[in-house]
Amino acid sequence: MTALRKNREFTADKPRDTAARSPRLPRYTSYPTALQFGPLAGQDHVAWLRALPADEPVSLYFHIPFCDQLCWFCGCYTHIANQYDPVSRYLETLLAELALTSSLTGRKKVSHIHFGGGSPTILEAGDFERLMNAVREAYEILPEAEIAVEVDPRTLSREKVAAYGRSGVNRVSMGIQDFDDKVQKTINRIQTAGLIEDCLRWFRTAGIEDINFDLIYGLPNQTQETIRETVLQTVFYRPSRIALFGYAHVPWMKKHQAMISAETLPGQIQRQAMFDQARKTLVDCGYQAIGLDHFALPGDSLIEALDDGLLRRNFQGYTADKADTLIGFGASAISSLPGGYAQNSTDMRVYRQSIEAGESPVVRGVAVSPQDILVRQLISDLMCYQQVDPEARLRESGLSYDFTREFRALADLTRAGYMDRKDSMYRITEAGRPYLRAICSVFDNYLPANFEENPDILYRCLHESEG
């Protein structure tokens, strides 16, 4: 008996709060996901870099794992820098890693560069320009390349923004989270509307017009009314792109989150209501919903990629970047290569010593098989377009694969109203949109609980929101 047949109360109604929680589902920014990463030899990483196709562009990601102040909600890999010396020393290691990696890959074309963290804005203006100059010496940045920086408004300055403009930065993502004073105090991230307006003015003076706002729902002391006000204030500033992420409260993994009382967190039904209201408000204000949690104005490159069938999802979220290869630099950074995924050490000392020895800093990862690539494409179709044709993708792959288990689950989802089917194409319905990740997990061969062995798992997943 399959998951949905066993649970007779399964309907397409709103989710209910439940004491029995399913395992947290992956966000499917990769497949296999980071949950499947295991020990990986640096020699494998080196071999994968050397084997990159000579004529295909690549993307670069630089991780800056430092912040000026710790936000209680943060789930990122970062360190608090009370002085600049650790950041300066880290930059030297980052430059050495760039030289080491480019010696293995050769001078490749680059179509996309992303600076994440932590807070990349902690880099002083001169150091950011120095890093970008080193990138240009090592690689050929294409004229149409997108160069994006994640921004903490509290560590930004007019001088830094001017350096971004001189360095070719053409997109920034501002970490807004929430505009409500009470919520900001609770998460230890206070940034006034006046500060945001200063930053926006600096960006536009520097010629940086593509501006993203990152918002979070499900934060402590957040209500439907406060999230609505945050969305309306966001719309007033008219960023070209908005990401609306769900807060994940995991104090057993991120100990500083224990500073947030669980009693101040909205329940599951309230979280879903927040997301639904925010989504409706954004759409009503002219933004187009994209995938799981992104929204964009007409003319944004994400919408163009969506319309052209070129939308992708990677570790930074949804992207219009066409490169199949992403090379990560910095402690904890992950590379997505044709051979597999490779993650640098999260131990700063180990990372630095590896680079100083002229060795790969990779310690974890996973090789990908042809079957993994097939499943990755299926999950990507669902995450980006909310539809999937397993039989067509199978024919394209040239593989042999038995979808019996997956087709049973898809049939149950269709009967329940979460999907509909036309010929061999399955599409997620409006009722099924809140459960996108749960539906993607139908194809995940690595989940610890197989649907057939534990038929309750899909039902439980479907009755929890995306957050």
In tens digits, what is the pLDDT along the chain, a chain of 467 residues? Answer: 333 433 323 333 333 333 334 456 888 999 999 999 999 999 999 999 999 999 999 999 999 999 999 998 998 889 999 899 999 999 999 999 999 999 999 999 999 999 999 999 999 999 999 999 999 999 999 999 999 999 999 999 999 999 999 999 999 999 999 999 999 999 999 999 999 999 999 999 999 999 999 999 999 999 999 999 999 999 999 999 999 999 999 999 899 999 999 999 999 899 999 999 999 999 999 999 999 999 999 999 999 999 999 999 999 889 999 999 999 999 999 999 999 999 999 999 999 999 999 999 999 999 999 999 999 999 999 999 999 999 999 999 999 999 999 999 999 999 999 999 999 999 999 999 988 999 999 999 998 644 455 545 555 455 443 43
Instruction: Pinpoint the residues of the chain covered by CATH 1.10.10.920.
Output: 3-27+370-462
Q: Return d(Cα 84, Cα 90) in angstroms, integer.
A: 10
Buried residues in 425-434 as b, exposed as e (16+ CB within 10 A): ebbbeeebbb
Single out the residue of 218, 208, 275, 270 nearest to residue 242, CA to CA.
Answer: 275
pLDDT at 242: 97
Query: Residues of CATH 3.80.30.20 domain(s) within the chain?
Result: 34-329
pLDDT of residue 17: 38
Q: Please give the structure tokens belonging to residue 167.
A: 């360095």
Residue 391 backbone phi and psi in degrees, to 5: -65, -40
Residue 280 token pair: 């409706």
Measured CA to CA in angstroms, residue 264 lies from 183, 221, 245, 259, 424 at distances of 10, 5, 18, 11, 46
Give the span between the Cα atoms of 111 and 450, in whole angstroms.
39
Which residues does residue 293 pair with via DSSP β-bridges, in sequence order? none
DSSP, res 172: E
Considering the entire predicted model, what is its pTM?
0.91
Strands (E) across 106-236 are located at: 109-117, 140-151, 171-177, 210-217
The closest of 345, 358, 364 to 100, measured between CA atoms, is: 358
Q: What is the CA 99 to chain-centroid distance, rounded? A: 27
Cβ-proximal residues to 307 (8 Å cutoff; 6+ apart), any chain: none
Give residue 26's pLDDT.
Answer: 87
Quote the pLDDT of residue 448: 60
CATH of 3-27+370-462, one of 1.20.1250.20, 3.40.640.10, 2.60.40.420, 1.10.10.920: 1.10.10.920
Give 312's DSSP letter.
E
Which DSSP category does 12 fall into?
S
Distance CA(221)–CA(199), nearest Å, equals 26
- CATH code for the domain defined by 34-329: 3.80.30.20
